[in-house]
């Protein structure tokens, strides 16, 4: 929904910059070739599956953990259960991984220290990384190992 409002705002501001006024000139000229169109692609309705999975984990009293995969350069979202066990959030809501499943994982290394686990809030306080990408907040940027 936020993306829709962002696109509408951009279109409105673009349109506002295209108007002109000729003080004292009573003739008006119309140029059809100056008219431009923009295709707006709307994301299908409904809730994003990952957002739904995060909400399901939290609503059931479980924690949400983001774990950065340095090899793939991606962040995975896990539903953290008691005792250090976790399932990928999407697998949790689809039922392919549960609190007692044999395919759940233990999110600590053999020496008992956390293995690159860090939880971030969902507060939206955008920050610009030195890589030129805007991140949701400084915690997410730090999780991606990006300086701000």
- What is residue 128's predicted lDDT score, i.e. its pLDDT? 87
pTM greater than 0.75: no
pLDDT average per 10 residues of sequence, the chain (148 residues): 60 52 49 56 65 89 86 86 82 81 58 51 80 79 76
Q: Are 114 and 120 in contact (CB under 8 A)?
A: no
- The single-letter DSSP state of residue 108 is B
Q: Is residue 57 part of a domain?
A: yes
Q: Is residue 16 part of a domain?
A: no
**Region of 132 on the Ramachandran plot (φ > 0 left; ψ -120 to 50 alpha; else beta):** left
Q: Are 96 and 108 in contact (CB under 8 A)?
A: no
Q: Is residue 133 part of a domain?
A: no
Q: Is residue 81 part of a domain?
A: yes
Q: Is residue 78 part of a domain?
A: yes
Q: Is residue 31 part of a domain?
A: no
């Amino acid at each position: 929904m936020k993306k829709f409002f962002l696109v509408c705002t951009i279109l409105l501001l673009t349109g506002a910059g295209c108007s002109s006024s000729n003080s004292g000139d009573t003739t008006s000229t119309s140029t059809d070739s100056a008219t431009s169109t923009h295709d707006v692609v709307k994301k299908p309705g409904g809730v994003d599956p990952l957002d739904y999975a995060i909400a399901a984990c939290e609503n059931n009293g479980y924690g949400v953990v983001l774990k950065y995969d340095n090899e793939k350069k991606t962040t995975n979202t896990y539903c953290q259960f008691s005792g250090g066990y976790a399932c990928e959030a999407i697998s949790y809501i689809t039922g392919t991984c549960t609190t007692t499943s044999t395919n759940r994982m233990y999110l600590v290394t053999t020496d008992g220290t956390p293995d690159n686990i860090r939880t971030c809030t969902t507060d939206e306080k955008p920050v610009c990384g030195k890589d030129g990408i805007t991140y949701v907040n400084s915690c997410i940027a730090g999780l991606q190992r990006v300086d701000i």
